Amino acid sequence: MLDAFTEEQEAIRSFVERLTAKYDRRYWVERATKGESIDELWRELGRAGYLGVTVPEQYGGSGLSLRRLAILMEELAARGVLAGFLVISTAMGAIPIAKYGTEEQKRRYLPALANGSEKFCFAITEPDAGSNSFRIRTLARRDGDQYILSGQKAFITGVNDADHMMVVARTVSADEVTDKREGISLFIVDPKAQGIEKHQMDIRILMPERQFRVFFDGVHLPASSRLGEEGKGLKILFDALNPERITLGALLVGTGRYALGKAVEYAKTRTVFDVPIGAHQGLAHPMAVAKTQLELAALMTHRAAEVFDQGGEAGMYANMAKYAAAEAAIETVDLAMQVHGGSGFTGEVDLITLWPMVRLMRTAPVSREMVLNYIAEHTLGLPRSY
């Protein structure tokens, strides 16, 4: 298994090295600064078959493999290309459809996701619900052979650039169910449909994708837009959220590798008092710790992806991977800035640009505290604290 993994990882690394020779960190920063999509890189990924790694072969993909996607995300980020939309469209969009969609839905959406001609975004977060997703208020009311969707979402990434939106809504309000896990459904929605408004949020993080508030005012949806059985969407939802946490873990590990690489190179060449600063244990030891923590986070991320791919219960591993990767990336980026001294805050060195994004990942898409609550309750068997 280790040899097979290494061979696969090397093949993806070689591809990413060639790809980022054309679409490098400078390209990513330029697009992110302007708020423009990284479309050229996206199309290259589609042509090479990498957008289809979570799509079964019969629908134009290369097989449902979250591990391959995690490797790809990590390798891209290790070269400074943070392809966050891969998390949303290729993981959170394709995987639920591949696992739970009707044959018609699979044939309609999966080939386009695999070749990159269409993108998905994902809409779950609401201003009043926060981390308590069971209390979402967006309601899809059944009306004959259609649904009427009303409500609002916040922090919806890339909806302006998406062809489809996976919306998590209640088909029965939270106040009307005896079991909070019931009454949740997922719908595939056209972001340009009548009754939808999108307002960009003022998020101060360097990313090509922008964040939006989305309002649904009596949006008419055909019953065929629902994914899975009505009111039974919780399993589908977590088969989107666990891949999100795993792939974000991979992105964070790669980002940490990128920052640490810059710090190590600088520490080897920057001389103060006639010796390279990397010779001092005050810097050498923290960098060795950062390397260790990143490798540990990578192992947990790949383990989580393997468990998911094998159909196992991946919740514990996904949460641990996200926690470990976020903490490692935050500490590593902070250390890399410290190694560079004052120059670590300049655009030329390009480390300060990473800080808001990695720090966000301690809070979103699930906070560090909620991750630890999950591990304490579901892994250690401790009493529920909330």
Phi, psi (5° rounding) for residue 81?
-105, 105
In this structure, the chain runs to a length of: 386
Cα(214)–Cα(200) distance, integer angstroms = 9
Looking at per-residue pLDDT, the higher value among 252 and 135 belongs to 252
Amino acid identity, position 262: K
**286 cis-preceded (ω within 30 degrees of 0):** no
The domain total for the chain is: 3
Cα(89)–Cα(79) distance, integer angstroms = 21
Query: 247 and 333: one domain?
Result: yes
Mean pLDDT of 10-31: 96
CATH number at residue 105: 1.10.540.10
Query: 11 and 100: one domain?
Result: yes
Q: How confident is the model at residue 141 (pLDDT cuts 50, 70, 90)?
A: very high
Cross-strand pairs, 149: 140, 219
Q: Which of 75-84, 173-182, 189-198 has the lowest mean pLDDT?
A: 173-182
| Residue ranges making up the domain that contains 139 | 122-231
Residue 101's contacts (CB-CB under 8 Å, 6 or more residues apart) are 109, 110, 227
Q: How confident is the model at residue 4 (pLDDT cuts 50, 70, 90)?
A: low
Cα(384)–Cα(338) distance, integer angstroms = 39
Query: 97 and 205: one domain?
Result: no
**Is the residue at 348 inside a domain?**
yes
CB of 219 closer than 8 Å to CB of 188: no
Looking at per-residue pLDDT, the higher value among 1 and 149 belongs to 149
Distance of CA 133 to the CA centre of its chain: 18
Q: How confident is the model at residue 289 (pLDDT cuts 50, 70, 90)?
A: very high
pLDDT above 70 for 74: yes
Query: 50 and 88: one domain?
Result: yes
pLDDT above 60 for 1: no
- How many other C-beta atoms lie within 10 A of the C-beta of residue 342? 8
CB of 222 closer than 8 Å to CB of 142: no
pLDDT above 60 for 2: no
Last residue of a domain, one of 182, 200, 231: 231
Cα(336)–Cα(201) distance, integer angstroms = 30
Q: What is the pLDDT of residue 5?
A: 65
Cα separations in angstroms, 188 against 38, 108, 184, 279: 24, 11, 14, 56
Residue 84's contacts (CB-CB under 8 Å, 6 or more residues apart) are 157, 207, 208, 209, 251
Query: 301 and 354: one domain?
Result: yes
Query: 211 and 281: one domain?
Result: no
Query: 204 and 103: one domain?
Result: no
DSSP for 316-383?
A: HHHHHHHHHHHHHHHHHHHHHHHHHGGGGGSTTTT-TTTHHHHHHTTTSSS-HHHHHHHIIIIIT-PP
pLDDT in tens, 291-308: 999 999 999 999 999 999
Residue ranges in 273-314 assigned as alpha helix (H): 281-309
Residue ranges in the chain assigned as alpha helix (H): 2-22, 25-34, 39-47, 66-78, 84-85, 94-100, 103-115, 234-269, 281-309, 315-340, 355-360, 368-374
Query: 263 and 375: one domain?
Result: yes
pLDDT in tens, 233-272: 999 999 999 999 999 999 999 999 999 999 999 999 999 9
Cα separations in angstroms, 24 against 115, 245, 344: 22, 25, 20
Torsion over CA of 130, 152, 242 and 135, rounded to 10 degrees? 50
Mean pLDDT of 349-370: 97
Cross-strand pairs, 272: 275
Mean pLDDT of 369-375: 96
Q: Which of 213, 98, 101 is nearest to 153 (CA)?
A: 213
pLDDT in tens, 206-230: 999 999 999 999 999 999 999 999 9
For 96, left (φ over 0), alpha (ψ -120 to 50), or beta? alpha
Largest CA distance in the chain: 80
**Is the residue at 384 inside a domain?**
no
Query: 287 and 344: one domain?
Result: yes
CB of 214 closer than 8 Å to CB of 152: yes
**Is the residue at 386 inside a domain?**
no
pLDDT above 90 for 156: yes
Looking up tokens 């005012």 gives: 217
- How many other C-beta atoms lie within 10 A of the C-beta of residue 347? 10
For residues 287-313, one letter each, b for 16 or more C-beta atoms within 10 angstroms of the residue's C-beta and e for the rest, the string is: beebbebbeebbebbbbbbbbbbeeee
Q: How confident is the model at residue 8 (pLDDT cuts 50, 70, 90)?
A: confident
Query: How large a percentage of the chain has pLDDT more than 70?
Result: 99
Q: What is the pLDDT of residue 9?
A: 86
Last residue of a domain, one of 118, 150, 171: 118
Q: How confident is the model at residue 133 (pLDDT cuts 50, 70, 90)?
A: confident
Q: What is the pLDDT of residue 70?
A: 97
Q: What is the pLDDT of residue 151?
A: 98
Query: 246 and 218: one domain?
Result: no
279: part of which helix (H) or strand (E)?
none
